[in-house]
Amino acid sequence: MDQPLSDHHKRNKNIISNKKAFSSIVGAIFAVLVIVSLTGTFFVWSLQQNTRYVNAVAQMNQLEIDQMSESVKVLDINYSVVSENHVNVKGNIQNNGPSSVQFVNLWVYVSDDVGGQTYFNFSNIDSNIEGGKVYAIDKTVVVNGIHSGGLYYMSSSMITARGNRISLPKVAAITNTIITAQTTDGIGALAMSFQDFIYYTVTGSTLNNFPSGSSGYSVTSGGSNIAFRVILTNYDRNQRQITLNSSSVFFSIFPTLPQQVRGAYWYIVNVNANGIISNTFTSVVLPFNVPTAVYFASDHAITPGNPYAGAKPLFTGTAPINLAVIGRVGTSPFGQNIPFVSIIINS
């Protein structure tokens, strides 16, 4: 017959049962804590990733806005091979945007006239242009394979810190060898295009048959005032701008008598896109290496209070022509006499 458990045995049994229950409770609590900890960590990580994503999107949007706000206008650009494997880029660009633009690289691309082989390289730059300001480019870039004396077609581009690419126009580059032959070591800084020398008859202030005109080598005025147009190109060896003032004159000499010569004069004028001569005069600008039309039509130098007045040939026959131009090259005084053609004037 079983003996009833003593109180001591009952207490031992309860302790064993309570330990198992306690362990279960502790295990459950620990599991809950682990779950809560993992959940909290994942939640915090998710918040961080979401914040990073939002910030990245905001930065990308701001970058796009900043890129779109960059507006750069190319005013003029010229290229030249200054020595073996060295290309000079010179010109002016303007920041038309509201914010400043920082340039970090200048890339130069060169293709030759034979075979179309292309050479390119870049140079680091660090230039910051405020809104509305003009930046003068004057940078020489090493481009291997380029030689003095050759004809090349060149273009370039400037890279901004925001990643925009500002393309600079493609032009045929003039090398120093060519420039030297046509500048002050030869005929002077200005060269005339002999194929594009023309004249117009003038009615009032209007050039007739504008812009084509007629060959300037054989002039028939029919008693009318006439005007001459010449195409001048600035080959200044330092690539400076040349400005012509109102004293510049186109004149002829007629050897009509054995011991007396006669002359006729046509002073420089401004002509608009419709072939109308202006009554006043603004200096004519000749950028480097840009063929520019220059007109001569007034019987005197146009000055304030002394407006344009037409000029006509005073004599007929064969006459040598001289072009005496006065102005400035860069900031220095400039003058050149171009003995360039002979003409015949008919009545």
pLDDT of residue 229: 94
Q: Which two tokens stand for residue 299?
A: 């019987």
Q: Could you identify the residue written with the tokens 């990643």?
A: 163
Query: 317 and 211 share a domain?
Result: yes
> What is the amino acid identity at position 290?
V
At 140, is the secondary structure helix, strand, or coil? Answer: strand
8 Å CB contact between 316 and 346: yes
Q: Does 205 reside within a domain?
A: yes
pLDDT of residue 179: 42
Q: Does 36 reside within a domain?
A: no
Residues 6+ apart with CB under 8 A from 267: 246, 247, 248, 249, 250, 296, 297, 298, 299, 300, 301, 302, 311
Closest by CA position to 166, among listed 109, 99, 105, 79:
105
Mean pLDDT, consecutive 10-residue stretches, the chain (347 aa), reads 52 54 64 66 68 63 57 81 83 84 88 68 86 87 77 82 79 46 56 88 94 91 91 82 94 69 85 94 91 94 94 83 92 87 83
Q: Does 167 reside within a domain?
A: yes
Query: 172 and 200 share a domain?
Result: no
Do the strands 218-220 and 332-346 form a parallel or antiparallel pair, or are they unpaired?
parallel
Query: 146 and 200 share a domain?
Result: no
301 Cα distance to chain centroid:
34
Residue where one domain finishes, among candidates 144, 179, 214: 179
Residue where one domain finishes, among candidates 146, 162, 179: 179
Q: Which two tokens stand for residue 316?
A: 């007929």
8 Å CB contact between 254 and 238: no
Residues 6+ apart with CB under 8 A from 309: 298, 299, 300
Query: 134 and 219 share a domain?
Result: no
Determine the structural domain holding residue 247 and report its residue range.
186-346
Residue 44 CA to residue 121 CA, distance in Å, equals 49
Query: 142 and 268 share a domain?
Result: no
The CATH number for 258's domain is 2.70.50
pLDDT of residue 243: 96
At 311, is the secondary structure helix, strand, or coil? Answer: coil
Query: 150 and 236 share a domain?
Result: no
Cis peptide before 287 (omega within 30 of 0): no
Residue 28 CA to residue 24 CA, distance in Å, equals 6
Q: Does 17 reside within a domain?
A: no
Residue 181 CA to residue 87 CA, distance in Å, equals 19
Query: 191 and 93 share a domain?
Result: no
Query: 270 and 336 share a domain?
Result: yes
How many structural domains compose the chain? 2
User: What are the DSSP calls for 265-293, one per residue?
Assistant: EEEEE-B-TTSBBPSS--PEEE-BT--EE
3-state DSSP: the chain helix, strand, coil percent, rounded to 5? 20, 50, 30
Q: Could you identify the residue written with the tokens 């063929």?
A: 291
Note the maximum CA span of the chain: 172
Q: Does 227 reside within a domain?
A: yes
pLDDT of residue 199: 93
Query: 175 and 193 share a domain?
Result: no
Q: Which two tokens stand for residue 71?
A: 């507006």
Q: Does 4 reside within a domain?
A: no
Query: 220 and 337 share a domain?
Result: yes
The CATH number for 87's domain is 2.60.40.770
Q: Does 34 reside within a domain?
A: no
Query: 332 and 196 share a domain?
Result: yes
Closest by CA position to 197, among listed 180, 214, 211, 183:
214
Query: 110 and 196 share a domain?
Result: no
Residue where one domain finishes, among candidates 135, 159, 179: 179
Q: Does 55 reside within a domain?
A: no
